[in-house]
Each structure stands twice: as C-alpha cells, then as structure tokens.
Amino acid sequence: MSRIVLHDYFRSSASYRVRIALGLKGLEYARRSVNLAQGEQRDDAFRAVNPQGFVPTLEIDGLTLTQSLSIAVYLDQTRPEPPLLPRDPADSAHVRALALTVACDIHPLNNLRVLKYLQGPLGLDEKAKDRWYRHWVEEGLAALEAIAAPRAGAFLYGDSPTLADVCLVPQLYNARRFSVPLDPFPTLRRADESASALPAFAAAHPDRIAQEELAQ
C-alpha cells in the first residue's frame, strides 16, 4: 500500500481537522508543509496537486482528496473503526449538522485569506479585523452550543469523539488566539477538554506540529 501524504499548514483549522481524523483512525502519514503565510499555496507545484490551492490535500489509496470534511468522511467510510459518525441515520445527521455549523458557517468567514482581504483591499485595521472575527465566531459558537447541549456528553455528541469534535477543537483553538470569550459555552468547553486529552487530538495540535517542524 502506498504511503499517505498530507499537504497541510500547521495552523490551518481545516488541516488540523484532518490530522485529528488520521490520528483517530490510527493512520501514519507523511506531512508536506504548505506555508500559507508565505503564499506557497499559489506555487505552480502545489497547484498541480490541488488546483484550488487549498490545504489540506490528502494523497491516499492512489487518490488525491481535498476538503477536510470530505476527507474525514472518506476515512470513515474506508476505515470504519473507530467511527467518526454514528451509524444511525438520524444521529449521523445530527453530528454532521454540528460539524457543518463549524466548517460552513463559522470558519469560512474567518480563515486566513478572508482576514488578509479585510486588511488588504478593504483597508480594515487590526482592531476592526479582530472585531469582525469575534462577532462571527461568537454568533456561531452560541448557535453550536444551543444545538449540541441537549445531546452532548463528555463530547459534543455522546461520550465518544465524532466528526463534530474533529471540527470543534480547531475552531476553539483559533477562538482563543483571537481572545474570544468562551465562558458562555460550557458544552463546547467540556467537549474540547475531553477531546484534547486524547492522543490523536494532542498530536495534531498546531503547537506540537510547529515543534516538530523546528526539530527537523
């Protein structure tokens, strides 16, 4: 079997999700860093791998996969244990809704290319950019808290990590970077604490990845 290669950036939320998913599935992989801050995603060499110029991109099973949730679902379908999604259709729909609340409604408004556009062509200063970030994150997390709370356990859904936690932990990591207050979200904080204690989540943390890159 060919080796698994992940093209990612250590601080990319979407890449962070895929690192967690790979870890939960117990899969070893090689990392190829794409430095978004230096614009390496626009290089011809990387565009040949992913024409969209986004990370993560995963080479696995002779395929080149893009989009973090699509990658996670592929991993779950081809390597079903431990599951990232419940097998019951209704429960799976609930977990997908939690994951998509982060991946579709919160994260896209606040990723690096959006923040750079706000400060570049639109001319927002640092304070205004941070206010933009906090507004959308706080609004999104409030909705996520309300949706998750009735069916949460130690994790965002029940007492085992799911795709919802794979999305939650990177989002809360970034929320803390921008000083978003998390006290109003006890369900999210409990799930984040439970997940972060697991080896797969700890190994995928951006600080751990940055340390590994420095050691190379």
183 and 120, same structural domain?
Answer: yes
- The beta strands (E) that lie in 40-195 are given as 57-60, 63-66
43 and 66, same structural domain?
Answer: yes
Q: What is the pTM of this model?
A: 0.94
74 and 54, same structural domain?
Answer: yes
At a CB cut-off of 8 Å and minimum separation 6, what does 79 contact? Answer: 25, 27
Average pLDDT over residues 118-138: 90
130 and 35, same structural domain?
Answer: no
For 10, phi then psi, to 5°, come to -55, -35
Query: What is the per-residue pLDDT for 183?
Result: 97
Average pLDDT over residues 72-78: 98
Please give the residue range of the domain that contains residue 72: 5-82+206-215
Domain count, the chain: 2
Q: Which of 84, 35, 37, 34 is nearest to 59 (CA)?
A: 34
153 and 132, same structural domain?
Answer: yes
Average pLDDT over residues 24-28: 97
Q: CB-side exposure of 209: number of CA atoms within 13 Å?
A: 23
How is residue 77 written in tokens? 């379908």
Q: Is the peptide bond before 82 cis (omega within 30 degrees of 0)?
A: yes
Query: What is the per-residue pLDDT for 1?
Result: 55
Q: What CATH number is given to the structural domain containing 60?
A: 3.40.30.10
55 and 133, same structural domain?
Answer: no
Average pLDDT over residues 145-155: 98
95 and 71, same structural domain?
Answer: no
183 and 103, same structural domain?
Answer: yes
Compute the distance between CA of residue 152 and CA of residue 202 in angstroms, rounded to an integer. 21
Least reliable range by pLDDT among 14-18, 101-105, 171-175, 210-214: 210-214
Compute the distance between CA of residue 112 and CA of residue 216 in angstroms, rounded to an integer. 25
Q: How does pLDDT run across 29-59, given as a tens digit for each residue?
A: 999 999 888 888 888 888 999 998 899 999 9
How is residue 123 written in tokens? 């001319």
191 and 211, same structural domain?
Answer: no
162 and 76, same structural domain?
Answer: no
Query: What is the per-residue pLDDT for 203?
Result: 97
76 and 97, same structural domain?
Answer: no
Compute the distance between CA of residue 20 and CA of residue 24 in angstroms, rounded to an integer. 6
187 and 141, same structural domain?
Answer: yes
The more confidently predicted of residues 13 and 39 is 13
Specify the 3-state DSSP secondary structure of 6: strand
Q: How does pLDDT run across 103-112, given as a tens digit for each residue?
A: 999 998 888 8
Q: What CATH number is given to the structural domain containing 162?
A: 1.20.1050.10
* Helices and strands counted in the chain (H then E): 10, 4
Q: Are 119 and 129 in contact, with CB atoms under 8 Å apart?
A: yes
How is residue 191 written in tokens? 């799930």
Query: What is the per-residue pLDDT for 19?
Result: 98
Query: What is the per-residue pLDDT for 42?
Result: 87
